[in-house]
């Protein structure tokens, strides 16, 4: 009984992760073929550590660091996480027809560019609101840093499909870690795991993953030099 329920749950998860994806070889007419464990884990990692999720977590980390300075950081961080991460996530889900893998479907450069522009507009709007309503300075600076990074990454991914996942993980987690007194390389271990996941699911080549990670670390180092 337990094995049957577990198998059914796994099929449902795989169905969400791989339906209409670039890895259609996993699908067999009339039935869903479960991929190997490594590919399944890589797909789940790509979903859990999607750019929108990483951006929201980074804002919460920066909000926590602002609290240590006596600012009302967490409340602002939660509001900004929804305001900045929500619009691009909604667009991605809508462009996929309401289901599928957010980490593997945006293969067309127009979709990637549109998602980046929507994220940039959301960041700029929330940056204006945060500045106008006197949000903690750390959060305002972090939003400005994120907006600049998204602008550069959107232009880059429109020309060549570098790994936006690894770039976002390396840059935002590195910058957020630096806000808490950690090294700018704080996001590197997670970026390495994400890079393996992106290559495993055949969403990127190793070169695209390495370039994305390098660009993210460079942007995080630039942020730490400024702030």
Sequence ranges of the domains in the chain: 36-226
pLDDT at 181: 75
Helices marked H in 19-108 — which ranges?
A: 37-48, 51-67, 73-95
pLDDT at 23: 42
The more confidently predicted of residues 17 and 137 is 137
pLDDT above 70 coverage of the chain, percent: 73
Q: Looking at the predicted structure, is the pLDDT value of residue 209 above 90?
A: yes
Contact 140, 128 (CB under 8 A): no
- How sure is the predictor about 227, in pLDDT bands with cuts at 50, 70 and 90? low
pTM to 2 decimal places: 0.73
The pair phi, psi for residue 32, each rounded to 5°, is -100, 120
127: exposed, middle or buried (Cβ count in 10 Å: 0-12, 13-18, 19+): buried
- Virtual CA dihedral for 17, 90, 95, 92, nearest 10 degrees? -60
pLDDT at 101: 45
Contact 198, 209 (CB under 8 A): yes
Q: Helix 188-200 vs helix 164-179: angle between axes, to the nearest 10 degrees?
A: 170
Contact 170, 191 (CB under 8 A): yes
Taking residues 9-25, report their average pLDDT. 44
pLDDT at 109: 63
Taking residues 143-152, report their average pLDDT. 87
- How sure is the predictor about 97, in pLDDT bands with cuts at 50, 70 and 90? low
pLDDT at 125: 93
Q: Looking at the predicted structure, is the pLDDT value of residue 22 above 60?
A: no
The pair phi, psi for residue 27, each rounded to 5°, is -100, 135
Q: Looking at the predicted structure, is the pLDDT value of residue 75 above 60?
A: yes
Which among 127, 118, 165 is positioned nearest to 146, based on CA atoms? 127
Q: Looking at the predicted structure, is the pLDDT value of residue 6 above 70?
A: no
Three-state SS at 31: strand
Among 31-35, 74-78, 80-84, 158-162, which range has the highest average pLDDT? 80-84
H/E run at residue 27: strand 27-28
Q: Looking at the predicted structure, is the pLDDT value of residue 116 above 50?
A: yes
Which among 128, 208, 206 is positioned nearest to 160, based on CA atoms? 208
The more confidently predicted of residues 100 and 161 is 161
Which among 169, 145, 43, 37 is positioned nearest to 100, based on CA atoms? 43
Q: Looking at the predicted structure, is the pLDDT value of residue 117 above 70?
A: yes
Q: How far is CA 160 from CA 60, 61, 155, 157, in A?
A: 31, 31, 9, 5
pLDDT at 206: 93
């Amino acid at each position: 009984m337990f094995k049957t329920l577990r198998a059914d749950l796994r099929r449902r998860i795989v169905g969400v992760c791989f339906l209409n994806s670039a890895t259609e070889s996993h699908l067999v007419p009339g039935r869903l073929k479960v991929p190997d464990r490594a590919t399944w884990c890589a797909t789940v990692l790509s979903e859990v550590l999607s750019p929108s999720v990483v951006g929201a977590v980074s804002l919460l980390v920066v909000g926590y660091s602002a609290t240590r300075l006596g600012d009302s950081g967490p409340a602002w961080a939660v509001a900004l996480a929804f305001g900045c991460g929500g619009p691009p996530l909604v667009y991605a889900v809508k462009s996929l027809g309401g289901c599928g893998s957010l980490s593997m479907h945006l293969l067309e450069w127009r979709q990637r560019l549109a998602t980046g522009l929507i994220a940039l507009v959301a960041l700029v709007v929330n940056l204006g609101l945060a500045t106008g309503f006197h949000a903690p300075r750390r959060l305002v600076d972090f939003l400005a840093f994120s907006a600049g990074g998204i602008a550069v990454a959107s232009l880059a991914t429109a020309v060549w499909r570098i790994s936006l996942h690894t770039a976002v993980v390396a840059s935002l987690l590195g910058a957020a870690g630096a806000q808490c007194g950690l090294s700018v390389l704080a996001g590197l271990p997670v970026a390495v795991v994400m890079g393996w996941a992106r290559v495993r699911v055949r969403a990127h080549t190793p070169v695209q993953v390495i370039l994305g990670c390098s660009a993210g670390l460079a942007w995080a180092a630039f942020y730490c030099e400024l702030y």
